[in-house]
Amino acid sequence: MKAIIEYNSRKIEVNISEPIDISIPIDVSKKNVNAWYVDDPKIFPEEINGEIVKVTEGAVVNFNNIHFNPHSHITHTECVGHITEKVHSVNKNLKYFIHLAEVVTVVPESDGEDFFISEKQLKTALRNKKRDAIVIRTLPNLKDKKSMQYSNTNPPYLLEEAAIYLREKGIKHLLIDLPSVDKERDEGKLLSHNAFWNTSGKLRMDATITEFIYVPNSVEDGEYLLNLMIAPFENDATPSKPILYKIIK
């Protein structure tokens, strides 16, 4: 099924029957992705008056509680409230959900034990393209990203210079397949978060960072229409389900 969407005075045709889901779900039936030194997520039935509310236990419905942290256990989208004293809500500040995005693939550079994405790499990938969003896939791109235990592994991150470049280029939505755009242990500096959201100047309230995505290897680099769907939590971050659509013309 094809659809034509008018976007910034441009008519974009996509096949909406072929969505590309780049989210990682919570799945407690197997090893779940995890970061930031917290326990695994839990999904368990409520107990009321000593009765377990689960159909297999005799109840008429399944009535589960879910215990998780969006930053640790699932694809999530966050706003500047993640690092400011005032906890701004991503649900209130993300007002538009359809964006023109560029999927780029990079091999993180290395310096000693650190692996990172540089400004030069992103400049090479984006060149003079004008996009609202960037979707960064890092190599190697193995399926174990969906179940990786990232705590104490010093995963790759984005250099501050790269985050500044994206901000100055007008990228409002940064999506990446890592647990954070910053180094796991950086003495609390959060250089890339601060640079992207411009915390030393006018805050970019409508800019978001989405972490823990997974872009299948079958998805080619290039231009896509992005539907950045989020759950309506009034919080600095919320679970999200970013969907890509290949642009036909």
Residue 21 covered by a domain: yes
Mean pLDDT score across all residues of the chain = 96
Q: With the CA atoms of 185, 189, 195 and 198 taken in that order, what torsion angle do they form, in degrees rounded to the nearest 10? A: 140
Contact of 141 with 177, CB cutoff 8 Å: yes
Residue 31 covered by a domain: no
Band of residue 65 on the pLDDT scale cut at 50, 70, 90: very high
Predicted pLDDT at 37: 98
Does the structure show a pLDDT above 80 at 249? no
Does the structure show a pLDDT above 80 at 115? yes
User: Averaged over 122-140, what is the pLDDT?
Assistant: 97
Residue 62 covered by a domain: no
Q: Report the sign of the C-alpha dihedral through residues 177, 179, 182, 186, in that order.
A: negative
Does the structure show a pLDDT above 90 at 3? no
Contact of 78 with 208, CB cutoff 8 Å: yes
Where residue 199 sits, what CATH number does that domain have? 3.50.30.50
Question: What are the beta bridge partners of residue 222?
Answer: 103
Band of residue 6 on the pLDDT scale cut at 50, 70, 90: confident
Pairing label, strands 64-67, 173-176: unpaired
Band of residue 132 on the pLDDT scale cut at 50, 70, 90: very high
Give DSSP secondary structure letters for 135-165.
EEEESS--GGGGT-B-TTS---EE-HHHHHH
Predicted pLDDT at 2: 85
Residue 82 covered by a domain: yes
162-177 pLDDT, tens per residue? 999 999 999 999 999 9
Q: Percentage of the chain with pLDDT > 70? A: 100
Band of residue 10 on the pLDDT scale cut at 50, 70, 90: confident
Q: Based on the structure, what is the number of domains in the chain?
A: 1
User: What distance in Å separates the CA atoms of residue 153 and residue 82, rounded to the nearest whole number?
Assistant: 22
Does the structure show a pLDDT above 90 at 5? no
Kindly report the pTM of this predicted structure.
0.96
Band of residue 7 on the pLDDT scale cut at 50, 70, 90: confident
User: What distance in Å separates the CA atoms of residue 232 and residue 77, rounded to the nearest whole number?
Assistant: 11
Residue 35 covered by a domain: no
- Structural domain that includes position 178: 2-25+70-246
User: Averaged over 210-228, what is the pLDDT?
Assistant: 98
151-205 pLDDT, tens per residue? 999 999 999 999 999 999 999 999 999 999 999 999 999 999 999 999 999 999 9
94-112 pLDDT, tens per residue? 999 999 999 999 999 999 9
Residue 57 covered by a domain: no
Band of residue 120 on the pLDDT scale cut at 50, 70, 90: very high
**Residue 90 phi/psi, 5° resolution?**
-65, -30
Helix-helix angle 119-126:160-168, to 10 degrees: 30
Residue 136 covered by a domain: yes
Residue 55 covered by a domain: no
